[in-house]
Structure formats: structure tokens, C-alpha cells
Amino acid sequence: MRRYFNTEGQCYPEEHYMVRLDERLEKIKRLFIDPGKYFVINRGRQYGKTTTLYALEEYLKEEYLVVSLDFQGIGTAEFDNEYSFTKAFMRMFHEALDENGEDGENTDIAFLMEPGQTTLSEMFYQLSKFCKAVPKPVVMMIDEVDSASNNQVFVDFLSQLRSYYLKRRKRPIFHSVILVGVYDIKNLKLKIRPDAEHQYNSPWNIAAEFDINMSFSEDQICQMLGEYEADCQTGMDMRTVAEEIYQYTSGYPYLVSVICKILDERLPEYKAFKDSGNIWSGEGITEAVRILLNIKSPLFDSMARQLDAYRDLRDLIEEVLYQGKRVPFSPDAKAVNIGLMFGFLKEKGGQVVVANRIFEMRLLNMFITEEALKSDAFRCGERDKNQFIADGRLNMELVLEKFVEYFHDVYGENDEKFVESYGRKFFLLYLKPIINGTGNYYLEAQTRDAGRTDVVVDYLGEQFVVEMKIWRGNEYNERGERQLSEYLDYYHQKKGYLLSFNFNRKKEIGVRRITLGDKVIVEAVV
């Protein structure tokens, strides 16, 4: 059976095309396992946590007795009290020993499988005896700790772990413990004790900081594509394709895999992509991204739910995307901390930014779709859209002309603060129905700030770079024109578009063309 790109569950190198984890596993063992640290691997959904965990189990088994548990195997009722929890926990513990070929019946913990009630403290006393009796240091891994996120009994379980960890020179216990999930332990406490006094009073303050990068680098993506190319011989430029995929995903494991999966499995069904060399190209990746942005997935469903649950996080992301707001990075800010935990945000140059281009595009689509029914800008774009497409090409200059007319008629009398906050949002709302279903756009993070934001529009393989800028005077405006001209080189474009929101009462509203060297700038002023 030919290997394939897997986006559902754990990956195995003999079955799936995947990034090799040897370097990551060696680093985890050297920095965390060998020194006997207790730590948490918390990353966003579908970030390769489970795949890493089980690969690590295989990597460690020669030197350590690895007990790998999954809290999804414990039912809700079993978290009800410590007696039901300890029975369920020890059942899983025995199962893990059996899977490793250990004879659980000959250990000092076998009696816990018999009917009866056992407390957490008694269970840990027996686990201590077990760890002392076995010949290898014991490493315990617990996947999906989120399953216990709203249960006090789990917090009590962590407290016992902490107590034994602090006294482990006198009372033998696990050599190393790894807890894996989306939520970190500090935020598990939030769900149980929402009052401010207890929000960050975690029983897991013994945990070492797990700072290993689990995203994929361009080199790792290229290596994975090399294995695929050896099997399929598409003739792709692996380095160029890897760089392009990375530009969209920033190495988020699921997003890398799903783009490759679409390229491998779905695009060959499209008439325009019968040639495999044409698939594994910039054009193919653009089409794969378009498909990805229109499919449902657990990752995107979770994103929508979390933004509904954490309104401060949603407001922060909207300000960053729509207004170009520069938010100083601080992991102590609650909304930022939660966005980091879910993998929606990251730090770049001391600022908070959305984690990757795909997330930006998906979030913009979600925000705009939610606002479309009440947005005059969206309705006007829907009304005007048929005049902007001719022979399969988008007339961006005409789009700007019509937007200037619409904006001046509807919002021309509003104050500067209103336009700064909403002007760019209105343009995106106007543009969305025009390209919907055929094209996409994203905001270029490299140039975004409170004064200017570049939106890059992809429409049937053609790209348009539109700079949206707040007018700050002639000198600033001319500098912006030169910056856009230089930026067009990056996209290999000769024509760019500049949308200026101008508050000068003597401004000339309309569209004009400017020539800068070999570049043409179409500037629209509202």
C-alpha cells in the first residue's frame, strides 16, 4: 500500500508521509526525560502531540518503563469522585503494563483491580511501591488531559503527583511525567475555580517549561516532500513548494499535511490539474488553500467555538486583523495567553500576530460572513460584483473606483476615528462577495501596522497587491507609494493598488495612476 498524507489521528512513518521526529525525540529525552523532569506538552489542536507522544514511547522503551495513558479512556462518571477515578486509573495503568509486556499480576498494585474503594493517597502509596520494585525508571505519559479539565478530582490527582515529586528522594515515584493536551494545567484550574484568587493557583507549579518547537520548518517539509517525490516522481521543485507551503502555514503540522493531502488526492480530479507537475506548484498550492478555506474540520470548528467562548480574544484578533493594531506581546495578558495556548496567536518582533496566513484568511472569512447580513458594504459588493469580472479576470482598478463612490456616499461625513477603525473593514466586506468562491485574500503580516495594511488578492492565479493606508500628509503618502513599489518586487508585480483614507478637507476624491520607475500605482482616495 502506498503511503499517504494523514490528517486523522496518529501518524506512522511506515504508513504516512510525515516529518521525521528523531531530532525532536532526542532533544526531549536529553533535556526533559533523562534529568527526570515533570512537564506539559500543550499545543493547539492537531499539532502532532499524540504522534510525538507515541513516537517518544518507542524511543524511550530501551532505557525506561513507559506507561502511556489516555484520559479519553476514562468516562465522565469516573471523574465523579476519587474512588471511581482511582479504579479507572489503575485499570488503564494495568492495560498499559500489559501492552508493554509487563506482568501486572506480579506487582504490588494488582489488588487495586479488585472490587472496593481506594483513595488517591492509597493509590499513590502503591504506585510508589511499584516504582521502587521495577528495574527501570518509570516514565508516565498522559494524553488528552483536557478530558479532565473540569474535574476537581483531577486537581487532587495533580496535588498528589506534586507531593511525591517534591519528596521523591525519600519516596520513590515516577522518574518523569508528561501531561499532553491543548489546555495547560494553569488554565485547567480556571475551569474549576473561576474566582480570581484561584485562577492561577495551580498544583502543577513543579512543571518544567516545555519550549521545544513542534512546528515544521521549511527543511522538514522539504524532506517530507522528498520522500513523496521518490515514490511519485512528479518533477516538482521541492524547495520552492516547501517554501510556499510554509508561507501559508508557518509550519502548523495539520495545515501542512492537509495542503499536501489536497494536492495529492483532490487536485488530480480537476481538469486544470491533470499534470502532476502543475499540481505541485504555486498555482496548485493556491487552489489547495482555496479548497481548505471552504471545508469543515475539527480544527476550524474548535476555533469558532473558542472565539465565542473567549470574547476578549476575539476582540483582540479583530483589532489586529481589521485595524492593524500593534499589540505588544505579553504572555501575562489573559487574552494573549489564551490565544497562544490554542495556537491562534504567536509573537513576532515583540508584537502579537495571528499564528499563520491560513488562520488569518479563515478568521477574516468567518468575521466577514457573520457581518455580511447587516453590512451595507457587503450588499453593495454583492450588487456590483458582475461588472468586475471580464474573460475570467478581475478588474481591480474598477473595484477601487466603485468602492470610492460607495464609501464617499455612505461614510464621507464620519469622523476620523470612525474611518480609522472601520474603513479597512468596509473595503474587505465590499471585496468579499466579488471574489467569493473563486478567489481569496489575506493580509500581509510583514507590512501591517496602524498606518498601513497590505491585502493580497488571489483570483484565478492572478495576484493583486492592495495597500490600505491612513493618509498622514504628502510626505508620508509619497513614502507609502515608494514602499508599495518596492514591495511589488517581492510579488513580481508591475502594478499595485493604493487605497488611501484621507481626512484632509481639501482632498481630491477619486482614482489616479502614478508611474514610479517601471511600476504603475493605481491610487484611490476616499
HSE (side-chain half, CA atoms, 13 Å) at 475: 0
Residue 117 DSSP symbol: -
**How far is the C-alpha of 272 from the C-alpha of 279, rounded, in Å?**
9
**How far is the C-alpha of 417 from the C-alpha of 69, rounded, in Å?**
54
Q: Mean pLDDT score of the chain, rounded to an integer?
A: 86
Which of 284, 286, 287, 217 minimizes the C-alpha distance to 252?
217
Q: What is the pLDDT averaged over residues 413-441?
A: 79
pLDDT at residue 448, rounded to an integer: 47
Amino acid at residue number 474: N
pLDDT of residue 396 exceeding 80:
yes
Q: What is the pLDDT averaged over residues 124-133?
A: 92
pLDDT of residue 334 exceeding 70:
yes
Percent of the chain with pLDDT over 70: 86
pLDDT of residue 476 exceeding 90:
no
SS3 readout for 46-70: CCCHHHHHHHHHHHHCCCCEEEEEE
Kindly report which listed range (126-130, 351-355, 375-379) carries the lowest average pLDDT score: 375-379
Q: Which of 97-101, 213-217, 417-421 shows the highest mean pLDDT?
A: 213-217
Q: What is the pLDDT averaged over residues 46-64?
A: 95
Sign of CA dihedral 296, 301, 302, 304: positive
Kindly report which listed range (87-96, 280-289, 470-479) carries the lowest average pLDDT score: 470-479
pLDDT at residue 426, rounded to an integer: 86
More confident residue, 441 or 274: 441
**How far is the C-alpha of 78 from the C-alpha of 89, rounded, in Å?**
9
Residue 128: CB atoms within 10 A of its CB come to 19
Residue 163: CB atoms within 10 A of its CB come to 16
Q: What pairing do the DSSP bridges indicate for beta strands 510-516 and 519-525?
A: antiparallel
Q: What is the pLDDT averaged over residues 51-55?
A: 94
pLDDT of residue 490 exceeding 90:
no
8 Å CB contact between 9 and 53: no
Q: What is the pLDDT averaged over residues 227-244?
A: 95
**pLDDT tier at 420 (50, 70, 90 boundaries)?**
low
Amino acid at residue number 247: Q
More confident residue, 52 or 454: 52
Kindly report which listed range (58-62, 112-116, 515-519) carries the lowest average pLDDT score: 112-116
With 0-12 CB in 10 A as exposed, 13-18 as middle and 19+ as buried, what is 205? exposed
Termini Cα distance of the chain: 59
H helix or E strand, kind and range, residue 456: strand 452-459
pLDDT at residue 192, rounded to an integer: 47
**How far is the C-alpha of 291 from the C-alpha of 279, rounded, in Å?**
14
**How far is the C-alpha of 31 from the C-alpha of 36, rounded, in Å?**
9
Phi, psi angle pair for 469, to nearest 5°: -140, 140
pLDDT of residue 194 exceeding 50:
no
Residue 397: CB atoms within 10 A of its CB come to 16
**How far is the C-alpha of 372 from the C-alpha of 437, rounded, in Å?**
15
Phi, psi angle pair for 119, to nearest 5°: -85, 165
pLDDT at residue 331, rounded to an integer: 86
Dump pLDDT digits (tens) for 18-38: 999 999 999 999 999 999 999
pLDDT at residue 409, rounded to an integer: 80
Buried b (16+ CB within 10 A) or exposed e, 339-348: bbbbbbbbee
Q: What pairing do the DSSP bridges indicate for beta strands 439-444 and 393-394?
A: unpaired
